Structure 1
Amino acid sequence: MHSSAPLASSDSPLLGLDFSSAPTRRKPITVAQGRRQGQVLRLDGLLAFETLAQLSEFLSRPEPWLGGFDFPFGLPRELVQALGWPQEWRALMAHYSGLSRAEIRATFAAFCDARPAGQKFAHRACDLPAGSSPSMKWVNPPVAYMLHAGVPVLLQAGVHLPGLCEGDRQRVALEAYPGLLAREFLGRRSYKSDERAKQTPERLIARKDLIDALEQGRSRLGLRLKLSHSQREALIDDASGDRLDAVLCLMQAGWAQTQPGYGLPAAMDPLEGWILSA
């Protein structure tokens, strides 16, 4: 699936995106912008988008970038086959985006109800190595709705999705997952919450520890994060973790920039997609 046509260059600007399927002023979509020089990844800035339309306009600009996006790009093949849905990615996404959230919930709930306890959800091949939620999950977190809202924005913007869908090869979107990188440093320690009552000193310390580890380059990605003092404070102070999650996605995009074929496995399922660095 990996074409040899020219792609975003090895020094293209990088994006990391923390997604919300229903962004608001209080909970916007957060985008980290940066650039890699050798093994150092410098954070250039953070953007916030309060609507999907604003994000679409930004991604549609004819400027080169390579981005890591925190939402699933595909559904489990087992689920798609069981439902009799299209087994070509673009046709599947057209079908899926045409459904309402209520229809998605009812369809997926019926699928789960028919299966034995402990095996309710179907999983993609990347879910276990990434430790991610199945992309058909509609609650806590509602990643099925994130897929439903996010992929149409990428298709509308005409970006390139390696292994899934051809687009403008100067704007390359890859699926990222901040929890994968965070767990490498923190294990199961939590570093964020949207609930004010859960925004504890322990989570604040975890954010500081995570940022220290990124700045010291202690991950298997082999990159060091470079922050200004004010950027560091902004990441620490955001108890929701949205800014930090965007930066974690940015780091995964930076790693992909150093890898042949963006580090995607040669045998990646062209229906399911893959999570960076899983």
Structure 2
Amino acid sequence: MSFSTLAGIDFTSRPTKRKPITVALGTSDGQSVKLLRLDRHADFASFAGWLQTPGPWLGAFDFPFGLPRELVETLGWPREWLPLMRHYAALTREEIRTTFAAFCDARPVGGKFAHRACDGPAGSSPSMKWVNPPVAYMLHAGVPLLLEAGVHLPGLHAGDAHRVALEAYPGLLARELIGNRSYKSDEAAKQTPERLIARKDLIEALEQGRTRLGLRLRLTHAQRDALAADASGDELDAVLCLVQAAWAAREPGFGLPADLDPLEGWIVSAGSSAPS
């Protein structure tokens, strides 16, 4: 299927006007990705409305779609994805924190968290982590919105094949291009000239197509300046997810591994060495 619209979503588990869910919308010809615009959703109701946009579209979402199998089996939670997500959504954040903290406390130093198979190749935080970043709460908030919207989650849950949602991680591409340099912060005191330079270097590398995904980012001068000026990095993270969405849209099976764990899910483009 050809997707007329691509989207990269920088998600937050507590959206506000100051810290909205940011959606980068674009198109791709298979070799380049054109950023059309950035939308901002200050609450879940607005974002849920966008999810109902008729397709065909493919979105790459920066929050986990699954939990580590080891964690699920240790806790005795449902071992099928949909019942597991329904069980998880019914918990409060306090219950999640208490349960996960107890799991970690019972494990040795250096192995506190359980990991998904994709964490290593993606360099991502474990999806059970509740602080710095609170991805466990992002999963708790985000997956129910996708289920309610009826979108298709390849490898996990069948839905409207014209509205496809994939898990993404902007840090995967960012590290490939600028290493471990920090390019963003929500704290004003940490929004330094060094981070501004890192954002500019990252944007330049994306425009030159220096990632292994083999795609060049196309921006206007105004878009380039705006991405560099956003010290929080939310807009740039959404654009990084957009590039991952464009890569997945041209790959057979969205580039997901054939042996994807249907309980854990996968981060798009993790472990992929080169464009097809």
Gaps of 5+ in 1: 1-8
The Cα shift of 1:37 comes to 1.2
Please give the secondary structure, in 1, of the residue aligned with 2:258: coil
The Cα shift of 1:62 comes to 2.2
RMSD: 0.6
The answer to whether structure 1 residue 236 and structure 2 residue 228 are counterparts is yes
The Cα shift of 1:224 comes to 0.4
Alignment equivalent of 1:47, drawn from 39, 44, 49: 39
Please give the secondary structure, in 1, of the residue aligned with 2:267: coil
The answer to whether structure 1 residue 69 and structure 2 residue 61 are counterparts is yes
The Cα shift of 1:82 comes to 0.3
Q: Which residue of 2 aligns with 1:173?
A: 165
Q: Which residue of 1 aligns with 2:189?
A: 197
Runs of 4+ aligned residues of structure 1 deviating over 3 Å after TM superposition are none
Gaps of 5+ in 2: 271-276
Aligned-pair identity in percent equals 73
Matches of 2:220 and 2:259, distance apart in 1: 40
Matches of 1:37 and 1:188, distance apart in 2: 30
The Cα shift of 1:262 comes to 0.4
Aligned positions, number = 270
Matches of 2:4 and 2:252, distance apart in 1: 15
Q: Does the 8 Å CA contact 2:2/2:56 hold for their aligned counterparts?
A: no
Q: What is the one-letter code of the residue matched to 1:53?
A: A
The correspondence of residues 205-220 of structure 1 with structure 2, limited to 5 A, is 205-220=197-212
C-alpha deviations, 1:224-257, integer Å up to 9, x for none? 0000111111100000000000000000000001
Q: What is the one-letter code of the residue matched to 2:12?
A: S
Q: What is the one-letter code of the residue matched to 1:20?
A: T
The Cα shift of 1:206 comes to 0.4
Q: Which residue of 2 aligns with 1:24?
A: 16
Q: Which residue of 2 aligns with 1:3?
A: none
Q: Does the 8 Å CA contact 1:177/1:249 hold for their aligned counterparts?
A: yes
Q: Which residue of 2 aligns with 1:148?
A: 140
Q: Which residue of 2 aligns with 1:271?
A: 263
Q: Which residue of 1 aligns with 2:70?
A: 78
The Cα shift of 1:187 comes to 0.5
C-alpha deviations, 1:163-193, integer Å up to 9, x for none? 0000000000000000000000111100000
Normalising to structure 2: TM-score of the pair?
Answer: 0.97
Please give the secondary structure, in 2, of the residue aligned with 1:170: strand
Matches of 1:237 and 1:153, distance apart in 2: 30
Matches of 1:262 and 1:97, distance apart in 2: 27
Q: Does the 8 Å CA contact 1:16/1:248 hold for their aligned counterparts?
A: yes
